[in-house]
Amino acid sequence: MHRADYVIKRGFFALVTVFVAITINFFLFRVLPGSAVTDLSRVPHATPQLRRALTVEFGLDRPKWEQYLLYLRNLLHGNMGISFAYQQPVSHLLIADLKNTIPMVTVGTFASIVVGVVSGVLSAQRRGSVPDHISTNIAIFAYAFPTQWLGLMLLILFAGILPAGGMENQFLLTPEPFWQHLGDITTHMILPAATLMLTAYGSFTLVVRSSMLETMGEDYVLTARAKGLSDRLIVWRHAVRNALLPMVTLIALSLGYIVGGALLIEVIFSWPGIGLGMFTAIGQRDYPMLQGGFLILTFSVILLNFIADLVYFRLDPRISE
Amino acid sequence: MSLQVADPQAAGAGRRAGFLLDVLRERKAAVIGLSIIVFFIVLSLVAPYISPHSATAQTCAVYAPPSLHHWLGCDDGGIDMLSEIMQGGRISLLVGFAATLVAMVIGGGVGIGSGYFGGWLDALLMRITDYLLVIPDLVFMMVIADVWGASLFHVIMVIGILEWTTTARIIRAQVLSVRERVYIKRTKGLGASNARIIWRHILPQVGPLLIANTVLTVAIAIYLETALAFLGLEDPSVTTWGTILEHAFNRTAVSSGAWWAIVPDGFVIALVIVGCFLFGQAIEDALNPRLKVSHFSMRRWQLRPLVGRGPGAI
Amino acid sequence: MSLLEVNGLHVWFDLPGGRQVHAVNGVSFSLDAGQRFGLVGESGCGKTTTILALMGLLPPTASVAGEVLIGGKSILAGGEDTVRRYRWREIAMVFQSAMNALNPVKRVGWQITEPMVYHGIAKGAEARKRAGDLLEMVGIPAAAGERYPHEFSGGMRQRAAIAMALACQPKILLADEPTTALDVMVQAQILELLTGLCDELGLAMVLVTHDLPVVAHLCERAAVMYAGEVVENGPVTDLYHAARHPYTRLLFAATPDLYGEDRVTSIKGAPPRLDREIQGCPFRPRCDVPLSRCEVEHPVLRTAGPDHQAACHRNEAVDVA
């Protein structure tokens, strides 16, 4: 049926994009001149044994197309190489980092969506009024300030009140009980997540507002009013429900931006996530880590885009045509 | 009543300059945005002549707070903040415009080629843009900038190479709708070359939308430049708005309480981006007028008391 | 006491710059149960605004004077918040284009049950059953309620909109150009449907249209509006064959007769602007038989026959008190 077709089509698209990303990755790091991975003399602390092992593992003495296939095969097994700096499998390190990034980014993104939708809807309802102008302009500015600047501002404002860095208290002598540990992480998460919320909500507000203005001009809103429904139902059940469709698309498009923002935030707040991992890898010239980080982040965005496609599909019954 | 979406061709057709002037006249936001952009361009041009102090040599104490001599205080190297910001703007704007130029050229080429020639070329190019759109910008740029090395040129190229996709789509859409027009077919029938058709007929139609897109791309480019600089992927010897923030962060401006090394810089970046956004968005809105009617409002209609009755009642 | 009574209804709209448009100027008429009343005129004559005003469905730029009485109760006297209580329950509306009047993301059956549930008339399975019955009554299989509006054809959507309007068993049905957007065959069916429903359910109906044959087919009485005023009202046969206002006469003459040999005539000129006071008769510039009085004296509705009134100086009869 139509619905299955759509899912398959989007799924296929996601897979192909993954494949393209992998190929670009390979091209960047292996094919381009000056590629660090091929030039083993750039591996820090490289012993001859290590070089020999790496050459075998990545097939560096074979023709490029063979390397490519080897690369694909390795990836299929989850093998993204060994970190130059830590001498451990990249995938293990990055997964551990990812586990730290996900909660912070989820909380921040969720907050930005909620704030964006609510402020967008309220603005649209009061179009042209002073609160509308204020809210819209604040949103534009929040979006325009560089993410790192917002993070630094929060640091300046809340230094001393909230933890200024890290994910948890590093100086404890004995391990904390679970709930206290959770609370510790949560207080450390407040500033980074708040920064993410501030940097992302602006675009949501603007899109929700303009989408609402368009929706409120639709005849079915007049029908809802004619039925004698309350303001709240007219706005939320009829107008917002339709206005949210472009919002889902926007969230999907913003994922790249959110990932970039999260990266900067992790650097500022020393949040031990995948962004900080990649940043450190730059300084350490740890190219396998960089590659792996790029792949994982790209995979995540592709996956989330696919999920957004499904959500949109679920929300809009007209899609299956 | 149906929703009217203005045909961008109709809006831009043959009166490019006139259209922009209309937008400026009718929309305050456009004027504000353009003024901001022009202000900063002019500021960058005259900066070396009006900077109160050197932007490279030390003229005060490390992290000296704002004072009469140094309105915005000094940074970690004892360099006057105000001068740094004024001159840093030159490079930031340069990077912004140059990267946008690269993006426009690539995007324009892809869009025109794709829309005009159609067929497998179109399908292929559009697939490529679809895929590139999904890949996260900053992460990708980080990887590329790191592999190629940190330099201003690389930053410009990297931003340009990744930001052309929206331009390509816009131009392609315009080309597609213009291509079908009768007069194009006639011109072709008369033997005009493809290049001539593109240059004389298609490009002018695309004008205002392209300008809007350019301006918005400049905003993105400036934003990305600051991010790349912050991550240490730009030539550290060059002063840009981005490197100012990077220095402040890496040289403990926060713990030193030197807010003046952070706050003003962020403001000028935000101002330029807001200016670009206001101007670009105003043009896009003008090309796509929306119905003003709304069937819902928080405000209510009014009752007037009936004075008198019968035919003379008001 | 009539079921629906409109007395001296006026509607003004604010214009930017402080002026106002006098869109509806002293409209009065009344209806009893089971009667069908037509409101005809050119686009912009104020007929749509009039029936929207009957339900209080006006934008915030509107000011209203006059009375709308349903069963003797003045429903507009308390403003938007009190007129809501009457909406859909006493008086309901079928809009011009059901494509847009139905919410695209909600199932049709749900849109019919929504007002039932909201106004406390029925809920759950009972409501769904009633919705199914209503759909059957308008000629749609009850199971179609599970579908979305975009899955219906134009004619089916309009039927569904009629079913939806009847959801809370109103006494008065307003129809705004219900068949304009449909093709001729479907038009006839919808009109038959409306006639049948009115007879069966004893509904009073006000039908707004610019399509004169529709009025002739459906309504016993009608009012002709011009420049926001009622210029003639009475039995439809009188309007057709014994019009006492030049506009009515020209209007009905302008309708091409499929079988006759009359030349198609049109009325030269355009309606007057409504943002300023009109001197004399508003139709004077386009009238084919003006008197000198018509320049300076604004005509009022006078009796021109049994249950027949016209606002023209050429009628010598008693003033309507």
Helical pair B203-230 and A241-269, crossing angle rounded to 10 deg: 40
- Is there a contact between C208 and C175 (Cβ–Cβ < 8 Å)? yes
pLDDT at C188: 85
pLDDT band at B13 (very low <50, low <70, confident <90, very high): very low
Q: By the CB < 8 Å criterion, does C109 face chain A? A: no
pLDDT band at B314 (very low <50, low <70, confident <90, very high): very low
pLDDT at B11: 40
Which residue among C88, C100, C106 sits closest to A227, beta carbon to beta carbon?
C88
- Is there a contact between A241 and C114 (Cβ–Cβ < 8 Å)? no
Per the CB < 8 Å rule, is A293 touching B136? no
Report which of residues A80 and C62 the model is more confident about.
C62
For A59-69, what is the mean pLDDT? 76
Quote helix, strand, coil % in chain C, to nearest 5: 35, 25, 40
Using CA atoms, how far apart are residues B64 and B152, in angstroms rounded to an integer? 29
Write phi, then psi, for C125 (nearest 5 degrees). Answer: -65, -40
Confidence check: pLDDT of C42 > 90: no
Token pair for B10: 């109709």
For B145-154, what is the mean pLDDT? 78
The 3-state DSSP class for residue C296 equals helix
pLDDT band at C125 (very low <50, low <70, confident <90, very high): very high
Using CA atoms, how far apart are residues A111 and C173, in angstroms rounded to an integer? 46
pLDDT at C264: 58
CA A12 and chain centroid, separation? 21
For B278-295, what is the mean pLDDT? 82
Using CA atoms, how far apart are residues C132 and C144, in angstroms rounded to an integer? 9
**Helices (H) then strands (E): counts for chain A:** 12, 0
For C254-276, what is the mean pLDDT? 70
Q: By the CB < 8 Å criterion, does B222 face chain A? A: no
Q: By the CB < 8 Å criterion, does A209 face chain C? A: no
Q: By the CB < 8 Å criterion, does B227 face chain A? A: yes
Give the gyration radius of chain C's Cα atoms.
Answer: 20
Using CA atoms, how far apart are residues A286 and A299, in angstroms rounded to an integer? 20
Report which of residues C21 and A75 the model is more confident about.
C21
For B185-199, what is the mean pLDDT? 69
- Is there a contact between B295 and A216 (Cβ–Cβ < 8 Å)? yes
Other C-beta atoms lying within 10 Å of the C-beta of residue C58? 21
Comparing C-alpha atoms, which of A212, A194, A191, A193 is closest to residue A117? A212
Q: By the CB < 8 Å criterion, does A227 face chain C? A: yes
pLDDT band at B312 (very low <50, low <70, confident <90, very high): very low
pLDDT at C224: 93
Chain A: give the shortest CA distance to residue C55, in Å. 7
pLDDT band at B80 (very low <50, low <70, confident <90, very high): confident
Confidence check: pLDDT of C91 > 80: yes
Confidence check: pLDDT of B300 > 50: yes
For C216-238, what is the mean pLDDT? 91
Q: State the first-to-last Cα distance of chain B, in angstroms, to the nearest integer.
A: 31
pLDDT at B1: 30
Which residue among C88, C92, C104 sits closest to A318, beta carbon to beta carbon?
C104
pLDDT at C148: 92
State the complex-level ipTM. Answer: 0.90
pLDDT band at A288 (very low <50, low <70, confident <90, very high): confident
Token pair for B282: 């105003």
pLDDT band at B232 (very low <50, low <70, confident <90, very high): confident
Comparing C-alpha atoms, which of C58, C56, C48 is closest to residue C176? C48
Task: Say which residues have a Cβ less than 8 Å from residue C41's Cβ, sequence separation at least 6.
Answer: C47, C210, C224, C225, C226, C251
pLDDT band at C262 (very low <50, low <70, confident <90, very high): low
pLDDT tens digits along C292-319: 888 888 888 888 888 888 888 887 644 4
Please name the residues between 51 and 70 in chain C that touch chain B, using a CB distance below 8 Å.
56, 58-67
Which residue among B299, B300, B313 sits closest to C8, beta carbon to beta carbon?
B313
Per the CB < 8 Å rule, is C59 touching B294? yes
Using CA atoms, how far apart are residues A216 and A219, in angstroms rounded to an integer? 8
Write phi, then psi, for C57 (nearest 5 degrees). Answer: -90, 60
CA A156 and chain centroid, separation? 25
Using CA atoms, how far apart are residues A83 and A91, in angstroms rounded to an integer? 9
pLDDT at B288: 77
Which residues in chain B touch residue C62, judged by CB atoms under 8 angstroms apart?
Answer: 301-302
pLDDT at A52: 76
pLDDT at B306: 64
Which residue among C76, C77, C300 sits closest to B311, beta carbon to beta carbon?
C300
Other C-beta atoms lying within 10 Å of the C-beta of residue B56? 13
pLDDT band at B6 (very low <50, low <70, confident <90, very high): very low
pLDDT band at A41 (very low <50, low <70, confident <90, very high): low
pLDDT at C172: 95
For B264-271, what is the mean pLDDT? 94
Other C-beta atoms lying within 10 Å of the C-beta of residue B141? 23
DSSP bridge partners of C73: C70
Residue written as token pair 């009188």: C238
Q: Please name the residue of chain C whose CA is at the shortest distance from the CA of residue B293.
A: C59
Using CA atoms, how far apart are residues B38 and B125, in angstroms rounded to an integer? 35
Which residues in chain B touch residue C79, judged by CB atoms under 8 angstroms apart?
Answer: 300-301, 303
Residue written as token pair 């009343």: C37
What is the average pLDDT score of chain A?
Answer: 86
Which residues in chain C touch residue B294, judged by CB atoms under 8 angstroms apart?
Answer: 59
Under 8 Å CB pairs connecting chains A and C tally to: 63
Using CA atoms, how far apart are residues A185 and A307, in angstroms rounded to an integer? 28
| Percent of chain B scoring above 90 in pLDDT | 22
Q: What is the pTM of this model?
A: 0.85
Per the CB < 8 Å rule, is B302 touching C300? no
pLDDT band at B252 (very low <50, low <70, confident <90, very high): confident
* b/e map B281-296, b = 16+ CB within 10 Å: bbbbbbbeeeeeebbb
pLDDT band at A99 (very low <50, low <70, confident <90, very high): very high
pLDDT band at C263 (very low <50, low <70, confident <90, very high): low
